[in-house]
Structure 1
């Protein structure tokens, strides 16, 4: 009887372990399929792009094979990097995308596990009439400090601190918003920190004005 009871206990333990392994495997598969689903792609598109018909392509990129970075954005290929580095959207026409979010990227914090930070930038042309008070202030700063012949872009950036976020269950809290002006000229300034090899990337001149500026 004692041997039979021991055998039964071992069988129960083995069955429990197998059950846990099967369940964990199913959970991973379901999550992977969910991230690749059309529903997820459509929700990303509807959130970040106003005109969905303007999208040329959308691709899924696994986390361990992230190939989208600043280089693709700085060469004006008009790529929108979305989510956890798993999706990116390329627009058909760069001119039509000026009023759309042009850059969105998630960065995992060095410590603390599942904490991420998101930056969304929307580019505007300076010569447009603005209803927003802060953008009018920025336009005035540009007119007073930068020669009008130079090409200038105004960017509105929103920084989001994601707390207690775990992949598809994200709880975000916006903690501040700022606007910046960038002046683009050939060979103006170069940042060695973001330079790879012999290729130099111009960073231009940047002015930053906080949202609550009076």
Structure 2
């Protein structure tokens, strides 16, 4: 019995263009990282993403690329996980063609905008984005672990940025018109205490 080997590509969908950011995030320019990693619309489904990847492979590599994916049906491409909330996906493809799929994903540049009509999935308009492959793995488990690790790191980074923003505003408020002398004296006292501790 022959075992078909696959590769799992963990990918992010990023929105670097400020004109594509949601209104709630674009009004808060102090943390553009949240806007770049903004959620994707529900118009993008796992099946539609797989179709987009197959079309991109066909556009770049023609019949040869489709043949490497498994023929006209190109059943070799499957989206195993798609989270519109985190704009993250895991795509399974044949091991022999993972570089073709990777390059096709890199050249994709848009996701469908949501439609006002619930029967239609997309409107034909696209929201500009960047697809970034983060990890290529031989097992689904390793790709999932990397996605969880990156999500946790992003949460910690955003929380740290928010806390620094709050403290920065506090210090700016103190160091306003007449408070800069107070901040300088507090800094001098803490330096003196640090010197005494060193001795």
Q: If the TM-score is normalised by the length of the shorter chain, which range does it land in? A: under 0.3
- Normalising by structure 1, we get a TM-score of 0.20
- Normalising by structure 2, we get a TM-score of 0.21
Q: If each structure's strand is expressed as a fraction of its own residues, which one has the higher value?
A: 1
